[in-house]
Amino acid sequence: MDTGLVTADSTLGSQLVNSHWYRVGGLAPRLRDTLRIHPQYWRRQLWYVVEDRINARYHRFDRQAYRIIRLLDGRTTLQHLWLRLAAEAGEHLPSQEEILSLLGQLHSLDLLASDTLPDLGELAGRGRSQTWRKRAASYFNPLAIRIPLFDPDRFLERASKRLAPLLNWRGAVLWLACVLPALVLAASHWRELTNNFGERVMALDNLLMLAVLFPLVKILHELGHGLACKRGGGEVHDLGIMLLLFLPVPYLEASSSWTFPDKRARMLVGAAGMLVEVWLAALAFYLWLWLQPGMAKALAYDVTVLASVTTVLFNANPLLRYDGYYIASDALEIPNLAQRAGRWWAYLFERRLLGRRYADSPVQAPGEAFWFTLYSPLSFLYRTFVMFSIAVFVAGQYFAVGVLIAVWSIAASIALPFWRALGWLARNVAGGGIDSRPRRVILALAAGLGLFLFALPLPHHTQVDGVLWLPDSAVVRAGQTGFAERVSAVSDSELHPGETVLELADPGLTAELAAQTARTEAAQVRYDAARLEDPAAGERYAAELRREQTALAHLAERNARLTVKSASRGRLWLSQSEDMPGRHFRQGDVLGYVIPPAPPRVRIIVDQSDEALIREHTRSVRVKLPFAAASLWPATILRSVPAASNELPSAALGRSGGGEIATDPRDDSGRRALTSHFEYELGLPDDFPYRLIGSRVSVRFEHPLEPVGKRIWRGLRRLFLAHFHS
């Protein structure tokens, strides 16, 4: 549904008499015959909506402006009009300047008729200008490009009469009876509905179905607007195609609903299309539940998604200028909410920053300023979020199309408004529209901002988490699966390489070793006997003996690993050494550490997006411990693992251990990250006093000085590309 309301307001405060009045006082302007005027109340104030039936535009004027407009009958001259207003208004008499300003507005809006030959060149130029503005506004909106087709008014008139029994409370009851159970069932089937949503929707064959279904769903949506408008007594004279994300979607202009005096009737027109879509989504959902897997079930699913997702993300949200916006505008009784909210922020900029005391405020009623303050930033943020979400979602399957949408979105949402703002400032600064002092302030701010963003080098660093760790030789591990039989060394004792720490026992391995020893001895006896009797025949037993000896050596090696020995020099630390006897350990389990005199290492995990920056542009490295935050310790990069991995060196780096890295909830160890990272190992100075192995530390990589603008660009690029390289 397309609606547009242009506000023309008359304000007091200018000089009562204008020096050029004598030139126009004898003119008797009149309104065009094709205009209609409709009174409406907005926030308990009487306003008048002037309907331009030729151009399908609507203009709102306050009561004071209407006092002048009603006298423009082609017979009353401006001088007599002013004298009559003086007799009626008394001290509230509008100035001649205000009357001339209002007439200028009426002329620019093509609301005045003329008995003289019109300036055809001016009219043609004005028409071309309006056409260009409409096309430019359409082309710079990635969400909608409109192409009008035909007039549906007669068809809707006949349809509204036939459907009259349903366009009342009976239809509302039927709608609720259909939609409410569907909402309950959808909640219970939510996982089935959303499972592999992106892959299901963006599959090539499904996109072809969506391309066919989308226009069919939306034509029903638009017919809902049209029927509601006809029910309220309005007219619908424009139906066409809107290219929504490059898909042809029908649209219908029901802007005549702006003339309805009751705001609830206007809100119903705005909501009618969404009511039809939600009802259609409910019916399709019921079919999806009932049908067996196949083409029909897929079609029902697509209709459910189309009629529900587009309603929530686009039509129902007042932050986008679709149906929800016009409903909210009527509910709040604030017409032109988006335009006037933008003017409100411009007013604040002019008054607060530029020092213009007489800047015009768009606030016309109590309470409007609050909504103006909220609406513009929220609308900008949500619109940008929706555009980039669509770009990322599409690019997940079709990268080039997603990038194109993203570039278009940046141009429409950020670059174009910023360029317009710069143009406005440049015109005012160059043309003297801003006083000298504010002008200097603006130029200084602009220059300062440019220097700050693109010329001023500032400190730059990357911060990651790590853990204090030891070399592999310092880790005491169980060399073989078994039960702890005897602890040969106690915690905090000094060890040398080769000293026994713990002895394990494996009865099964011991029995197997004894049996293998017997088999080897028997093979040796057979070999010796055969070699004495017949040296040539002894070779047959030699192969058997070698096999048995190899098996015995393997078992002997496993048995030797039951004795856990220190591989390095240092101070022993065992975990609960007094409880170790009798406990079962698996091969590779960490039993303790031999803490060397040298400082521990730091193992860190680096995100893929930061890896190149750390590897190529690191000037220095500093380590900070959370329990000694006042001290920063220098560090050096000892090694880096060239391949990315999902395994974390310690569970302390994952979220389950208090870290920042998201881990796989299916991994009980808490050491498997959801995304791959690069691992680095850092060395600490010899005077590093802490030996709290496994403690989490913060590592800071200092990079060369760099302007903020370059970092912002790199961050935006990373934000977009990270989605496709994760």
> Computed over its alpha carbons, how large is the radius of gyration of the chain?
40
Alpha helices in 19-95 (DSSP H): 21-24, 63-69, 78-89
| Segment among 13-22, 261-270, 601-610, 698-707 with least mean pLDDT | 13-22
The percent of residues above 70 in pLDDT, for the chain, comes to 83
Please list the residues that pair with 647 across neighbouring strands.
672
In a domain? residue 441: no
In a domain? residue 34: yes
Please report, for the domain that includes residue 42, its CATH number: 3.90.930.60
In a domain? residue 673: yes
Q: How many CA atoms lie within 13 A of 272 on its CB side?
A: 28
**Do residue 709 and residue 670 come from a single domain?**
yes
Q: Which two tokens stand for residue 7?
A: 């506000």
Please list the residues that pair with 504 across neighbouring strands.
484
In a domain? residue 442: no
**Do residue 609 and residue 709 come from a single domain?**
yes
**Do residue 16 and residue 104 come from a single domain?**
yes
For tokens 């309104």, the residue is 31
Domain count, the chain: 4
The Cβ of residue 544 has, within 10 Å, a number of other Cβ atoms equal to 16
**Do residue 681 and residue 619 come from a single domain?**
yes
SS3 288: helix
**Do residue 50 and residue 158 come from a single domain?**
no
SS3 543: helix
| Segment among 183-187, 195-199, 422-426, 434-438 with least mean pLDDT | 434-438
Distances (CA, A) of 518 to 340, 445, 545: 98, 92, 12
> What gap in Å lies between CA 319 and CA 133, rounded to an integer?
23
Q: For 695, list phi and psi in degrees, rounded to 5.
A: -70, 145
Please report, for the domain that includes residue 706, its CATH number: 2.40.30
In a domain? residue 350: no
Q: For 315, list phi and psi in degrees, rounded to 5.
A: -65, -40
> What gap in Å lies between CA 39 and CA 653, rounded to an integer?
67
Identify the pLDDT of residue 418.
Answer: 73
In a domain? residue 664: yes
Identify the pLDDT of residue 11.
Answer: 38
In a domain? residue 411: no
In a domain? residue 427: no
pLDDT per residue as tens digits for the range 308-342: 888 888 888 898 888 899 999 999 999 889 889 98
Choose among 605, 632, 625: nearest CA to 696. Answer: 625
Amino acid (one-letter) located at 688:
F
Residue 680 falls in which region: left (phi positive, over 0), alpha (psi -120 to 50) or beta = beta
Q: How confident is the model at residue 529 (pLDDT cuts 50, 70, 90)?
A: confident
Identify the pLDDT of residue 178.
Answer: 94
Residue 64's domain comprises: 5-133
pLDDT per residue as tens digits for the range 218-245: 899 999 999 999 988 888 988 888 776 5
Rounded to 10 deg, the angle between the 263-290 and 204-231 helix axes is 140
Strands 57-62 and 5-7, sheet pairing:
parallel
pLDDT at residue 458 tops 60? yes
pLDDT per residue as tens digits for the range 68-90: 898 898 888 888 888 888 888 66
**DSSP state at residue 617:** S
For tokens 């302030």, the residue is 441
For tokens 């459907």, the residue is 163
Identify the pLDDT of residue 4.
Answer: 34
pLDDT per residue as tens digits for the range 22-64: 788 888 888 988 888 999 888 888 899 998 887 778 888 888 8
pLDDT at residue 121 tops 60? no
pLDDT at residue 8 tops 50? no
Identify the pLDDT of residue 9.
Answer: 41
Alpha helices in 140-203 (DSSP H): 153-162, 169-188, 190-194, 197-202
The sheet carrying 57-62 orders its strands as 5-7, 57-62, 45-52, 35-42
**Do residue 124 and residue 146 come from a single domain?**
no
Q: Which residues of 282-319 are buried (b: 16+ CB within 10 A; e: fewer)?
A: bbbbbbbeeeeeeeeebbbbbbbbbbbebbeebbbbbb
**Do residue 537 and residue 607 come from a single domain?**
no
pLDDT per residue as tens digits for the range 591-627: 888 888 878 889 998 888 788 888 888 899 999 887 7
Choose among 673, 546, 537: nearest CA to 608. Answer: 673
**Do residue 286 and residue 160 come from a single domain?**
yes
Distances (CA, A) of 397 to 172, 198, 200, 214, 719: 40, 8, 11, 20, 17
Q: Domain ends where: 590, 618, 641? A: 590
Distances (CA, A) of 18 to 23, 25, 26, 93, 550: 10, 11, 14, 14, 117
Residues 657 and 651 sit within 8 Å (Cβ to Cβ)? yes
Identify the pLDDT of residue 278.
Answer: 94
**Do residue 187 and residue 293 come from a single domain?**
yes
Q: For 670, list phi and psi in degrees, rounded to 5.
A: 70, 20
Q: Which two tokens stand for residue 263?
A: 């705001």
Does pTM surpass 0.95?
Answer: no
> How much is the average pLDDT of 711-724?
68
**Do residue 646 and residue 542 come from a single domain?**
no
Identify the pLDDT of residue 118.
Answer: 44
Q: How confident is the model at residue 429 (pLDDT cuts 50, 70, 90)?
A: low
| Segment among 173-182, 341-350, 627-636, 708-717 with least mean pLDDT | 708-717
Residues 605 and 498 sit within 8 Å (Cβ to Cβ)? no
User: What is the average pLDDT score of the chain?
Assistant: 81
Q: Domain ends where: 335, 357, 391? A: 335
Identify the pLDDT of residue 371.
Answer: 93
**Do residue 582 and residue 633 come from a single domain?**
no
Choose among 268, 263, 299, 270: nearest CA to 284. Answer: 299
For tokens 């009342």, the residue is 168
| Nearest-10 Cα torsion for 568, 572, 578, 581 | 0
Is the torsion defined by CA of 703, 706, 710, 715 positive or negative?
A: positive
Q: Domain ends where: 87, 113, 133? A: 133
Identify the pLDDT of residue 15.
Answer: 59
CA angle, residues 442, 447, 449, in degrees to nearest 5: 95
Identify the pLDDT of residue 24.
Answer: 83
**Do residue 171 and residue 118 come from a single domain?**
no
